A and B are shown apart, each in its own frame.
Chain A
């Protein structure tokens, strides 16, 4: 749509600007302020420049948790995107069945995140949970509170359970937007099912897939509540992701300067990736 230049439109955005500035800019400035000071108490703070940043970048605990975070987000995307596309392809197209599928798919998305953790905490236990009990009955030695690999798999499985429906719903809405004529043409050409997917469905899914990858990357990169409830970050620190490391540092140990410097680096990584995706989306919008 061609837009009209009009600077008075600022009045319409002003409420949003003030509200978000209040809840984003002020806290962010506080963080910046902390990150360059060493604070011993009220009125007892020293300017330390970039010391905290240097320390944070060389901190092995943080590097480990950053690596874990990237591994986790990568695994999440690698599983959820293909699975979500397949589920969307399997969904009924219309009628009561389609509505029913939509509602059932949306249920995991609407469960509070701590309850998601609780559900899997119960479900995975060897004594009272169906999943853990079933695996043990099959002769597998499964224990998510003691074994690192099991803990990882459980956190990953929980996230797949929780968020694959989002990818599926996005792709479903993308598929619905393809005109029926495209499929008819493919049928006349006797295109194989794979060809239909590769040359008709996949290209038209491009824009929703960018959104799906963006949302999944961001949310998995910020994951906190679910693993916190499920494993508490353990065993050891094997499932401690960035947000949890940060929260422990800021609230638990009250190590404010270091936590603030860490926050800014964390935020910058997310910002960089989101900028890449945002550019991709606006680029796709222009192509249309």
Chain B
């Protein structure tokens, strides 16, 4: 089957429609508020970086990005550390209650965050973790760990167990085999799992906003501040939005060759 011209046209059209709302945000972030409210212009007439300057010069703005970055990286680290051994166990061994455990883990990925809102708030308040980065990181484990286990299990099942047996014959201990031989073999799977942990932690706001107030507040919660007495500061809001898109684009660049397989949870 050849790649035909009509398909190319259709694809281009879809991509253009997909990018138009994002272009509009980018366009607005370079305009002054007078221009935004003065009428519709397809590109900035008075190009300005003032909106970005507001964000980068005010610590209450840019600390939101730093907070988000901190809890996302914490979450990625925790998720991978606990999910790797568990995924290995699920892909290699039969044990008492394995199927039930797997489904129970999965069911947590399906739990609506709104259900856990109030109990989470009380749980983390009572152990003194409210408004810390680690609280958000742990809360996001609720849906990231099951997903990571599922993805990694898919990738690990693709490695024949003869490798494991060969390593034992060669005298490798289990930890040494796991770190030196097994992990390098599934490194694309690890990359994909890390990518998904990043993605779902980065985009989530409901839990992150509930569990923080000042010190660990994510950028998404800070963005609501642009609604002031004089109405919404559209320019700064657009600039803040654009800045939240950039990390995602950078990360997706690194996993571009594995992303499709990852979205299929390693099952294709």
Contacts and interface: CB of A to CB of B under 8 A. Distances in A.
Nearest to A13: B86
Interface stretch (A45-53, A72-80, A162-170): A162-170
Given A106-B252, A109-B199, A224-B114, A176 B268 contact: yes
Nearest to B257: A99
Given A111-B245, A128-B36, A267-B112, A16 B149 contact: yes
A101 B15 contact: yes
B18 A105 contact: yes
Interface stretch (A55-63, A140-148, A244-252): A244-252
B238 A122 contact: yes
Most B CB within 10 A of own CB, among A30, A109, A112: A112
Nearest to B226: A118
A11 B228 CA distance: 53
Interface in A137-178: 161, 165-166, 169-170, 172-174, 176-177
Contact of A16 (B83, B160, B219): B83
Interface of A, secondary structure class, is helix
A24 interface: yes
Interface in A87-142: 87, 89-93, 99, 101-115, 118-120, 122-123, 127-131, 133
Interface string B251-268: 111001101110111011
Interface string B126-165: 0000000000001101100110010000000100110000
A107 B22 contact: yes
Interface string A173-186: 11011000001000
Contacts of A251: 117-118, 210
Nearest to B210: A251
Contacts of A196: 1
Given A20-B105, A20-B146, A30-B119, A130 B20 contact: yes
Contacts of A133: 40
A271 interface: yes
Interface in A1-26: 1, 3-10, 12-13, 15-17, 19-20, 22-24, 26
Interface residues of B, number: 98
Interface string B59-91: 000000000000000000010011101101111
A263 B105 CA distance: 19
B89 A12 contact: yes
B108 interface: yes
A123 B18 CA distance: 12
A107 B138 contact: no
Contacts of A66: none
Contact of A23 (B10, B19, B142, B161): B142
B159 to A, nearest CB: 9
A207 interface: yes
Contact of A1 (B11, B106, B157, B265): B157
Given A102-B256, A107-B249, A115 B220 contact: yes
8 contacts: A1-B157, A93-B3, A106-B248, A107-B248, A109-B248, A118-B25, A183-B1, A263-B115
* 7 residue pairs, one from A and one from B, having the closest CB atoms: A110-B248, A27-B119, A173-B260, A9-B93, A12-B89, A243-B114, A9-B89
